Amino acid sequence: MKRADTYSVLFFIRKEKKNSKGKVPIYMRITINGKHSEISTKQWIEAERWNSAGAVKGNKSDADSINKTIESLRSKAWSIYMQLQDRYQYVTAEMLKEHFNKQNVERKKLCEIFHEHNQKVNALIGIDYAKSTAKRFETTLNHVYEFLKYKFKKEDIELIQLQYNFIEDFEQYLKTEKNCNHNSALKYVKLVRKVVNIAVKNDWLIKDPFAKYKAKFKEVERGFLTEEELNLLINKEITNERLSIVKDIFIFQCFTSLSDIDIKNLDISKIQVDEKGEKWIISKREKTGTDSNIPLLPIPLQLIEKYQTRPDSEIRKTIFPFRSNQKMNAYLKEIATICGINKKLTTHIARHTFATTVTLLNDVPIESVSKMMGHKNIRTTQIYGKIVDQKVGNDMRKLKTKLYESQL
């Protein structure tokens, strides 16, 4: 629908509502397409000090402040009108009045509703959200706090002040001041967007500042171990116990795709036998809450048996003795050096190795890989498919060169 044909704002006084101090109230009348609504400005003035132009005359101390308030209200009414037009394409005077008054009463602030949202998320940990998700929301809120102090010298900002440039400035702040890479910055912005969307749905914010925001994640090359590197790691004998345990956990991850937190929570109750006698890991991913049911191959089965027969297996209750992520990463660095693998070994590398070297390159259907990895969307798994296609292309080019050279 097209925008309203007529819009006007008039400020006037109500002489019949004179108070005991001899002052009369100033009202704002909004007229749209011939129909109007009236809103109190909460300002009072002596009737004789009001002029026909809709402003306070004279040089008394309050004249300037009241006139500034009038102009501020005029500007606010127009801003709300334009936002309502963008959202609904049609606005009435009563609609504008309703939203105008609502914003005056419910002057919600960004960090305030973000904090309320995070409290609800924390209350639903283990039900609708994982601990890691709650932590990411808390980290994002801290980034918003720090950005507001950096940019506006404030600890919070009213929702009505949120404009498109706030998003762009926040993204730039994350990249320049927080040294976030492109994808990490966009993930934080995405979480802010979720909270702002709550404000839009509750009509605390009329216009969505994210409506025109577009940002694309950059494709990241997913590192993984080749078959040769994986075999080198499996066959390397390491006598140091702490390194040997970490090596076994990493190999287990390469053959199951389990993350650090899922390994940490893995106990014998999650190992189940199907009707054919095959053993499976039956669990949910801690990060996403999605099912991640994985048939156990011989190598991870051997590792489970190895650690179940250790004297400390009953005391620790979990299958593997687990160190902190920081220690695991430090130990993996040592292991890579010992094995002569020129790659940074991480949980992500292990999961990528499962997706590529262990499964996709051995013709396991991508749908099955996606289910085992606990991906919510197969598009996430298709990233690995691209890597496999790239490797196939490289291998074929090498073959072409080899065949060409053999004919010379």
Can you give the pLDDT at residue 380? 74
Are 117 and 180 contained in the same domain?
Answer: yes
Read off the DSSP letter of residue 318. Answer: B
Rg of the chain over CA atoms, in angstroms?
A: 32
Q: d(Cα 42, Cα 37) in Å, to the nearest integer? A: 16
Q: What tokens does 227 get?
A: 């078959």
Q: d(Cα 169, Cα 155) in Å, to the nearest integer? A: 16
Say yes or no to pLDDT of 80 above 80: yes
Q: d(Cα 56, Cα 28) in Å, to the nearest integer? A: 14
89 φψ region: left (φ > 0), alpha (ψ -120 to 50), beta (else)? left
Average pLDDT over residues 120-148: 91
pLDDT in tens, 43-73: 999 999 999 888 999 888 889 999 999 998 9
Average pLDDT over residues 309-327: 76
Are 182 and 276 contained in the same domain?
Answer: no
Short-list 177, 171, 180, 178, CA closest to 214: 171
Average pLDDT over residues 369-393: 75
Are 93 and 135 contained in the same domain?
Answer: no
Say yes or no to pLDDT of 306 above 60: yes
Are 240 and 387 contained in the same domain?
Answer: yes
Task: Please say whether the beta carbons of 30 and 96 come within 8 A.
Answer: yes
Can you give the pLDDT at residue 184? 93
Are 240 and 380 contained in the same domain?
Answer: yes
Can you give the pLDDT at residue 212? 86
Are 290 and 345 contained in the same domain?
Answer: yes
Find the length of the chain.
408
At residue 160, the 3 state secondary structure works out as helix
Can you give the pLDDT at residue 1? 45
**Separation of CA 100 from chain center:** 31
Q: d(Cα 148, Cα 150) in Å, to the nearest integer? A: 5
Q: d(Cα 405, Cα 201) in Å, to the nearest integer? A: 66
**Separation of CA 245 from chain center:** 34
**Separation of CA 236 from chain center:** 40
Question: Quick check: is 222 in a domain?
Answer: no
**Separation of CA 13 from chain center:** 50
pLDDT in tens, 110-119: 999 999 999 9
Average pLDDT over residues 290-317: 84
Task: Please say whether the beta carbons of 147 and 139 come within 8 A.
Answer: no
β-sheet with 291-295: strand ranges across:
271-273, 279-284, 291-295
Are 128 and 263 contained in the same domain?
Answer: no
Say yes or no to pLDDT of 387 above 90: no
CATH of the domain at 260: 1.10.443.10
Read off the DSSP letter of residue 355. Answer: I
Question: Quick check: is 214 in a domain?
Answer: no
The region of weakest confidence among 103-117, 191-205, 271-285 is 103-117
Are 65 and 119 contained in the same domain?
Answer: no
Average pLDDT over residues 103-128: 85
Are 273 and 383 contained in the same domain?
Answer: yes
Residue with tokens 């404000």: 199
* Domain termination site, one of 81, 105, 129: 105
Task: Please say whether the beta carbons of 4 and 32 come within 8 A.
Answer: yes
Q: What tokens does 128 get?
A: 């609708």
Cα-based distances in Å from 358 to 13, 27, 55, 153: 79, 74, 77, 52
pLDDT in tens, 219-244: 766 688 989 999 999 999 999 988 99
* Domain termination site, one of 105, 124, 144: 105
Q: What tokens does 141 get?
A: 């809120």
Side-chain half-sphere CA neighbours of 220 within 13 A: 12
Mean pLDDT of the chain: 86
What 339-348 contacts at long range (C-beta under 8 Å, 24+ apart), as own/partner pairs, is 339/229, 339/232, 339/233, 339/236, 340/232, 341/225, 341/229, 341/232, 341/233, 343/223, 343/225, 343/229, 344/223, 345/250, 347/253, 347/259, 347/260, 348/222, 348/223
Beta bridge partners of 109: 158
Q: How many domains does one find in the chain?
A: 3
Residue type, 223: G
257-291 burial string, b = 16+ CB within 10 Å, else e?
bbbbbbbbbbeeebbeeeeeeebebebbbbbbbee
Q: d(Cα 398, Cα 262) in Å, to the nearest integer? A: 39
Average pLDDT over residues 128-147: 91
Q: How confident is the model at residue 190 (pLDDT cuts 50, 70, 90)?
A: very high
Can you give the pLDDT at residue 103? 63
Average pLDDT over residues 364-385: 80
Read off the DSSP letter of residue 297. Answer: P
Say yes or no to pLDDT of 104 above 70: no
Can you give the pLDDT at residue 225? 92
Question: Quick check: is 209 in a domain?
Answer: no
Residue with tokens 């489970």: 304
Say yes or no to pLDDT of 141 above 90: yes
Are 194 and 248 contained in the same domain?
Answer: no
Question: Quick check: is 2 in a domain?
Answer: no
Question: Quick check: is 125 in a domain?
Answer: yes
Domain that holds residue 362: 227-397
Question: Quick check: is 128 in a domain?
Answer: yes
Q: d(Cα 128, Cα 107) in Å, to the nearest integer? A: 29
Question: Quick check: is 208 in a domain?
Answer: no
Percent of the chain with pLDDT over 90: 40
Are 162 and 268 contained in the same domain?
Answer: no
* Domain termination site, one of 42, 73, 105: 105
Question: Quick check: is 267 in a domain?
Answer: yes
Can you give the pLDDT at residue 376? 77
Say yes or no to pLDDT of 30 above 60: yes
Q: d(Cα 195, Cα 132) in Å, to the nearest integer? A: 17
Say yes or no to pLDDT of 105 above 70: no
pTM: 0.59
Are 118 and 52 contained in the same domain?
Answer: no
> Which of the two residues, 403 and 335, has the higher pLDDT score?
335
Q: d(Cα 154, Cα 138) in Å, to the nearest integer? A: 19
Say yes or no to pLDDT of 106 above 70: no
The region of weakest confidence among 28-42, 138-152, 232-246, 360-374 is 360-374
Task: Please say whether the beta carbons of 323 and 225 come within 8 A.
Answer: no
